[in-house]
Amino acid sequence: MAILGSRRRIILIGLFFTLGSCSEQEVVINDNGAPNGKAIYKQNCKVCHGGKGNLGVGDAADLSASKKTFQEKLYIITNGSEGGKMTSYKGVLTEKEIAAVTAHIETLIK
């Protein structure tokens, strides 16, 4: 009985972690099927640019002070920066996802 009890506990712990990791993951698609730029940003960009855009990890540009136009940002995200410090997201994110994440970083401008 004791063995069964501990096994059950292990299963419960496993279940807890599985559910825990599910709830952390944010939905990347909105109800209307459009990509959620904020969630995409969190998953792909926050690590260098930070939640507010000004973290600057590895010389990451301050997105909250960017003077670049929507189109210029779209281009950099799609093709990477000229110096190659930021990699291209072509093939990683779809065109629609890149447009959505660009729209999100426009909201970070102070």
Interface with ligand HEC by CB under 6 A: which residues? Answer: 44-45, 47-49, 58-61, 63, 66, 68, 73, 76-77, 81-83, 85-86, 89, 101, 105
Measured from the CB atom, the residue of 7 and 90 that comes closer to ligand HEC is: 90
Measured from the CB atom, the residue of 15 and 65 that comes closer to ligand HEC is: 65
We find the least distance from the C-beta atom of residue 101 to ligand HEC, in angstroms, to be 5
One-letter identity of residue 18: T
Measured from the CB atom, the residue of 9 and 85 that comes closer to ligand HEC is: 85
We find the least distance from the C-beta atom of residue 44 to ligand HEC, in angstroms, to be 4
Measured from the CB atom, the residue of 38 and 73 that comes closer to ligand HEC is: 73
**Three-state secondary-structure class, residue 35:** strand
We find the least distance from the C-beta atom of residue 83 to ligand HEC, in angstroms, to be 4
Cα 21 to Cα 24, 25, 71, 76, distances in angstroms: 5, 7, 35, 32
Q: Please identify which residue in the block is written with the tokens 């969190």.
A: 42
Written as six digits, the tokens of 12 are: 């419960």
| 10 CB-near residues (< 8 Å, 6+ apart) | none
The total of other beta-carbon atoms located within 10 Å of residue 25's CB is 10
CA gap 8, 12 in Å, rounded: 6
We find the least distance from the C-beta atom of residue 77 to ligand HEC, in angstroms, to be 5
